[in-house]
Structures are given as C-alpha cells and as structure tokens.
Amino acid sequence: MQSRIREVRKAKGMTLADVAAACRPPTTAQTIGRLETGTRTLSLDWVNRIAAALGVDSAELVRHGEDRPTLEVAAILDGNGHAQAPRQPTIALPPTPGAGLSGVRVTAGVGDYRSGDVVWCRHLAPAEFDRALNRDVLVPRPAGRYLYGRLIQREGGQLLILPPGPGARQQVVKDPAWLAVAETLVRAL
C-alpha cells in the first residue's frame, strides 16, 4: 500500500516528531519515518492513528489505483504581503469533512460572513460547552429551528448567544442537548 503520509504531513507543517507525539498512544519520529518511506509495513491501525494525529480522514493518507489530483503550492504569502516559492515541493490539502460535523450555508452577507460561505461546525456535548466560549456556534432550538452566533456566556444550563450582524441582541437558550462550534470556513473567492 502506497501512502501519502509525507505529503500530508508536510502540507500540515508538521515534523516527524510532531506527528509521533500527536499519535495516540504516542510513538517515535523514527517509526513515523519508517512508515512514510515504506520500510515498515503500514497497517490499517497505523493509517488510522496517523490520520487522527494529522487531523485528516484516513483515506487522505492512502494512494488509490489512480492518483487523485493534488494542488501544488506555488507560493507562500507571509505577513508582509510577500509571496515566495516554497523551499520544497508542497501540496495544499482540500478541506474534507469528518464525523461529528454540521454545515451552515450563508445565503446573505451578515457579520463576518459572505453570501455563499459554508461554515463547518463540530458538535460538542454539554460538558464541553466551555470550549466554545467566544466562538461562533450553532445551537438547536425547539421545532427544528436553530440559533447561530457568538457564545458570550454560559450560566448553569443557559447559553447567551449574540447573533452576527449590527444591532443584534443577545438571546438565551436553555439546556440545549448539544451545540456545534464553528471550525472551518469554506469560501469561494
């Protein structure tokens, strides 16, 4: 089985040691290097562990019979607005949704969002709600409705949400079964 571990690791900007430390349970950089180069057999368990460490779907790490098209990085833009060629060939990873995500499609510009944007939101259980403070969230409401906005406060079972847009007033949602925190913005330019 041919792997794309090295390509994906480099596209994520991670070293062998970074990936080894992020594996559960942790492993060594040498082991990851051997798996990348094929000098050690790449089992399905290793593919899944490394994919989780890289934050990608397992299928992204395995070459299929026909290679999938990739997007090579031609330039790297720095904070000063300067674009330079990468030192080594690099690919850009397309976004791929994983398990536990919901999408929000934006049909009209509001706040920081533009028409056509899609926001991917990761589901959190009530015990994890504090991780979403000061972030945009999707919260279920009765009768199949939702509330989307910034989680500004959590008091007991109540969430205070500030919807995007000028003049919006905070709204209170009591004891939602879950919320989904905005994680990825997909925007066509």
Is the pLDDT score of 63 beyond 70?
Answer: no
Q: What is the mean pLDDT of residues 40-54?
A: 90
Is the pLDDT score of 64 beyond 80?
Answer: no
Query: Which one-letter amino acid corresponds to residue 118?
Result: V
Residue bearing the bigger pLDDT, 67 or 140 = 140
Q: What is the mean pLDDT of residues 21-33?
A: 94
Tens of pLDDT along 124-136? 999 999 999 999 9
Is the pLDDT score of 182 beyond 90?
Answer: yes
Delineate the domains of the chain, giving CATH numbers in brackets. Answer: 5-77+88-92 (1.10.260.40), 101-186 (2.10.109.10)
Q: What is the pTM of this model?
A: 0.62
Tens of pLDDT along 78-108? 888 889 888 887 777 767 776 788 899 999 9
Tens of pLDDT along 6-18? 988 888 889 999 9
Range scoring the smallest mean pLDDT among 65-69, 78-82, 165-169: 65-69
Is the pLDDT score of 65 beyond 60?
Answer: no
- Residue 56 · residue 96 · CB < 8 Å: yes
pLDDT of residue 149: 95
**Residue 136 phi, psi (nearest 5):** -75, 140
Distance CA 113, CA 62 (A): 34
